[in-house]
Amino acid sequence: MGIIDELKTPSFKVTKSDKILMKYIKENIEYVSYMPISQIAKESNIGEATITRFSKKMGFSSLQDFKVTLAQEISINNKSKTIINSNIENDEPAIDTAKKLLSSNITTLEKTVDLINNQDIHNCANMIINARRIYFVGIGYSGIIAQDSNYKFMRIGLNCMSFDSSHTMIMMASIMEAEDLLIAISHTGETDAIIKTVELAKQNNVNIISITQNQESKLKDRSDINLAYVSEETILETGSISSKLAQIFLLDLIYTQVVKEKSSEAIDRKIKTTDAIKSLKNNYI
């Protein structure tokens, strides 16, 4: 029996909370697979522990397992199971696909710009400028963005580091100091290692800037400033370029603001680091 059928006629003893949760899932069947547990709990008024137990009653090891299976089932029912943009047809010319992807990415960035709070960007820039050390953290695709951001800010002379290993970021968070700044990048805002890292850093009075998709999440709740972006990727499309572009765009916006406020110093250091790289290349010619 599939999830949708099980929700209609459950094979287990249903509690009052289960009934409320099942009703919520059925009313939001197209979206539940992409929601973090905190959002489901908040909107359904059901505790996170109850939601986790319900997933196990349904025969799944975790809520994530339940959500992935539900997304697959809905895709099959809609005859549109795909790991790419749902607007793209398998038999269309590549140039048509290119235009659709371009349009999707432009729309994502335009919607993200509409979410930006001007003062938040200025505050982020000031936090970075005044920080003793800046730590960028992210897991998976977000870890790649963390590394790229670290490289960008390092080249204008800022003291920064990046981590994409859960063990390393958690260890470093435990010894961060109040003058440090942690910039956490997470698409869902629910990644366990990121949440643990942020919580440890907060115990040391470290300021937190987070980059997440535009929805309620544990990371957003624990951040001093949250910069949100629009993402319309499904759970099967995870890693699409539109979400990474939005993350890069927001970080580039902060970087640009930092350069604007430290113009002469930033330019001088960028020239020095660029010349240093050029001299290294010349040794191999």
pLDDT at 82 over 80: no
> Given pLDDT bands bounded at 50, 70 and 90, which one contains residue 283?
low
> Given pLDDT bands bounded at 50, 70 and 90, which one contains residue 269?
confident
Q: Which of 36-45, 96-105, 154-163, 174-183 comes out lowest in average pLDDT?
A: 96-105
Spatial separation of the C-alpha atoms in residues 116 and 229, rounded to whole Å: 8
Contacts made by residues 70-78, CB under 8 angstroms, sequence distance 24+: 70/3, 70/29, 70/32, 70/33, 71/33, 71/34, 71/234, 71/235, 71/236, 72/236, 73/2, 73/3, 73/4, 74/4, 74/29, 74/30, 74/33, 75/236, 77/4
The reported pLDDT for the residue numbered 1 is 66
The residue among 215 and 114 whose pLDDT is bigger is: 114
DSSP assigned state of 50:
H
What's the whole-number mean pLDDT along residues 35-64?
91
pLDDT at 33 over 60: yes
What's the whole-number mean pLDDT along residues 210-217?
91
**Average pLDDT value for the chain:** 88
Amino acid code (one letter) for 76: I
Q: What is the DSSP pairing of strand 160-163 with strand 181-185?
A: unpaired
Domains 3-77 and 117-281 share a fold: no
Q: Which of 45-49, 133-137, 276-280 comes out lowest in average pLDDT?
A: 276-280
Residue 76: CB atoms within 10 A of its CB come to 11
Domain ranges in the chain? Answer: 3-77, 117-281
Question: Which of the listed CATH numbers 1.10.540.10, 3.40.50.10490, 3.10.450.50, 1.20.120.330 matches domain 117-281?
Answer: 3.40.50.10490
Indicate the SS3 state at residue 221.
Answer: helix
Spatial separation of the C-alpha atoms in residues 57 and 212, rounded to whole Å: 31
Which CATH number applies to 3-77?
Answer: 1.10.10.10
pLDDT at 83 over 60: no
> Given pLDDT bands bounded at 50, 70 and 90, which one contains residue 20?
very high
pLDDT at 80 over 50: no
pLDDT at 260 over 80: yes
Indicate the SS3 state at residue 252.
Answer: helix
The residue among 139 and 104 whose pLDDT is bigger is: 139
What's the whole-number mean pLDDT along residues 62-87?
72
Task: Give the residue carrying structure tokens 């005859």.
Answer: 79
The reported pLDDT for the residue numbered 180 is 98
> Given pLDDT bands bounded at 50, 70 and 90, which one contains residue 281?
low
Whether 225 and 123 have beta carbons less than 8 Å apart is answered as yes
